Structure 1
Amino acid sequence: MTEHTHTAHTVPTVPTDLLDFPGAAELIAAGDVPPPSSGIVAAAQAAVARAARGEAPPSPARPRLRPLPLARRRRVLVAAAAVAAIAAGAVAYPVLDVGGRPAATASASQFLDDMAAVASDAPAATDPQYWKVRVETVNQDDGKRTDTTFFDHEGRVWSVDPDGTVHEPPAGEKGKVKKWPVGEKWLTWPALGQLPTDEKALAALFPADPESRFEQVAILLEDSPASPQLRGALFRILADAPGVRLVGDVRDSKGRAGVAVEVTRKSWYRVGSAKPVTHRTKDRYVVDPRTGLLLETTHKLLDRDAPVDRYTWLEVGPADRVG
């Protein structure tokens, strides 16, 4: 495990009009403090950005305990973010209970809500002709491999070899069509554009079972051409999911910095050539807090000594041509 050496920081001079809140004197007197994690900074920056734009916090109707209410005047929001990010370095949130099941810890919920804001603010792709996905996969059956695919609005899929050789999609109905699961349906690219971006209306289309709903939402966030507004709504659904734990700052298998959340669930899983059976898995999702894009997904069987399945998303986005 890599050890990190923190350099002490001196709290800079802050205009007094931003520090007229309880605890300001203690914050100034505290002097040097260790730097906050990148996840905490990203969450604080998202909160401050929302306040600066005069926006309400995401999904204010959801009952969720927070140590600091986000719906306040801009000055108090900036001060609260400064206290959380600079003085504390981390924020401890209670675990809520919804219907007898542990909900996502408030810290995980807050992070996913902030990622919803980041995703919603991302620039939209300007009607690209293709969508490109380059993913490195590691699993027991295939070993380690990298696949590069392109698909168009009709779902036709082109694959590209490492040497640049392009494989055209087969003609007619024999060709593979790229689709994503939403409830009982499998939707193509144009159909994704017809999905509602209201969180409640969107959540109603996914399975009622929270574990299956989490899986389908995560699949869409991994590699689909969902619009920024749709991605924001998907993250808000995850923020309400039960049992999500915030891991915190991590690096993926490529050394990229991200913030991870974990969820334990049951899923159909095939080990080797055996028939798929139900297993408990611990799924980890590493998110880039600057963009809201998924960097890596891993699935670990909890009841079998089997290698972790890993999907590292190297490139996901619009493309003007194949190749």
Structure 2
Amino acid sequence: MSTYDVEETGMSEQQALMDFPGAEALRAAGRVEAPSADALARAMAAVEGAARREVREGVVVAPLRKRRRLLSVIALAAVAAGVAVAGVNLRAGDQHGTARAQSASVFLNNVAEVAATQPAGSGRYWKTRTDSMGAYISRSMDVTYTSASGKPFRKSHFPGWRLGSRTYDWNGLDALTTDPDQLLRRIENTTKASADEDEDAATLGFVQASTLLANAPAGPRLRSGVFKALADLRGVSVVGTVKDSIGRSGTELSFHGGVGTTEVIIDPRTSKLLELIEPWRSEKDQRRATYLSTGLTDSIG
């Protein structure tokens, strides 16, 4: 708190800190029973989203009187969720990190249930269309690339989708285990395919799993299993509700690895992965893939 704030308000530092909308409700809450996992997930998602917006607006580094906006959001979310508080002690740290992890786990397990109910579909090709190009992969792993307008421009052989230390073709994905514990072990035991890969092994594992969810012909049970595996992966946290680069709404998750932070945006209503932003070489170098549409089809174009 600055000297200006003290002189301007005539309050002590502690009094000024707690002078924000929602403070009285927070004090009145006192000590309560621990919240449910769902309530905590909702509260933490709200707090993370509010904090993200405030940081973007420069409020967090502004004078104290502006930071009260963020504190009021945190206070109301805490009371709504029934978060146990003692007096006015609002400390961040291990408990905050644990809450974010619990929030991610709840969200991912819920999305896993959605994924399990999606139709499998049918078709000769697996189609992926991003903001830059399209790809049509056959069961023989031949791939036809198309321009943003849908015009074919190159044919090649697709090497497959990596998960852990192995690469899977279309038939291999059909035979891959759907057990979350086994999938988690594969993700955690990821190894680099070549020395040219710049991500650390942990980031590679998360990116591979996210890519499989985004643009691989994984059936509903496999996608559900991968979501459940990620729910138990350390380092995953919920950021909150955001817009992707083309304005679609989804829930953003982040993974904190050795290279930097990887971000994914998921539509919780459909379990579709909308966007993947991964660090490359460093936090400053990022690669983004925006998935416009994916699915099975019988024709190219």
TM-score (norm 2): 0.62
What is the aligned partner in structure 1 of residue 164 from structure 2? 183
- Secondary structure of the residue aligned to 1:321 is coil
Aligned partner of 2:293 among 297, 315, 320 = 315
Cα distance in 2 between the residues matched to 1:91 and 1:224: 37
Residue 129 of structure 1 pairs with residue 124 of structure 2? yes
Cα distance in 2 between the residues matched to 1:103 and 1:218: 22
Mark the CA change 1:96 to 1:290 in structure 2 (over 3 Å): closer, same or farther.
farther
Contact persistence 1:102–1:242 (CA under 8 A): no
Contact persistence 2:184–2:233 (CA under 8 A): no
- Secondary structure of the residue aligned to 1:316 is strand
- Counterpart residue identity of residue 157, structure 1: V
Cα distance in 2 between the residues matched to 1:230 and 1:129: 19
What is the aligned partner in structure 2 of residue 247 from structure 1? 239
Residue 108 of structure 1 pairs with residue 108 of structure 2? no
Aligned partner of 2:114 among 118, 129, 132 = 118
Post-superposition Cα deviations, 1:176-214, rounded to whole Å, max 9, x if no partner, equal 224111222211111100011111233333442654432
Post-superposition Cα deviations, 1:74-131, rounded to whole Å, max 9, x if no partner, equal xxxxxx89x989x96975889998xxx97961011111111111111111113x1111
Post-superposition Cα deviations, 1:127-151, rounded to whole Å, max 9, x if no partner, equal x111111112xxxxxxxxx111101
- Counterpart residue identity of residue 130, structure 2: V
Structure 2: any 5+ residue segments left out of the alignment?
1-33, 46-75, 85-91, 191-201
In the TM superposition, what are the counterparts of 1:39-58 in structure 2 within 5 Å? Answer: none
Contact persistence 1:93–1:106 (CA under 8 A): no
Cα distance in 2 between the residues matched to 1:124 and 1:281: 34
Structure 1: any 5+ residue segments left out of the alignment?
1-65, 71-79, 137-145, 170-174, 267-279
In the TM superposition, what are the counterparts of 1:74-223 in structure 2 within 5 Å? Answer: 91=81, 105-126=101-122, 128-136=123-131, 146-167=132-153, 169=155, 175-208=156-189, 210-223=202-215
- Secondary structure of the residue aligned to 2:270 is coil
TM-score (norm 1): 0.58
What is the aligned partner in structure 2 of residue 13 from structure 1? none
Cα distance in 2 between the residues matched to 1:92 and 1:234: 31
How many residues of Structure 1 are paired with residues of Structure 2 in the alignment?
A: 215
What is the aligned partner in structure 1 of residue 220 from structure 2? 228
Mark the CA change 1:161 to 1:231 in structure 2 (over 3 Å): closer, same or farther.
same
Mark the CA change 1:154 to 1:121 in structure 2 (over 3 Å): closer, same or farther.
same
Contact persistence 2:253–2:265 (CA under 8 A): yes
- Counterpart residue identity of residue 129, structure 2: R
Question: Which protein has the bigger helix share?
Answer: 2
Cα distance in 1 between the residues matched to 2:282 and 2:146: 37
Mark the CA change 1:301 to 1:179 in structure 2 (over 3 Å): closer, same or farther.
closer
- Counterpart residue identity of residue 243, structure 1: G
What is the aligned partner in structure 2 of residue 21 from structure 1? none
What is the aligned partner in structure 2 of residue 44 from structure 1? none
Residue 292 of structure 1 pairs with residue 296 of structure 2? no
The alignment's C-alpha RMSD in Å is 3.4
Cα distance in 2 between the residues matched to 1:237 and 1:96: 25
Identity over aligned residues, as a percent?
32
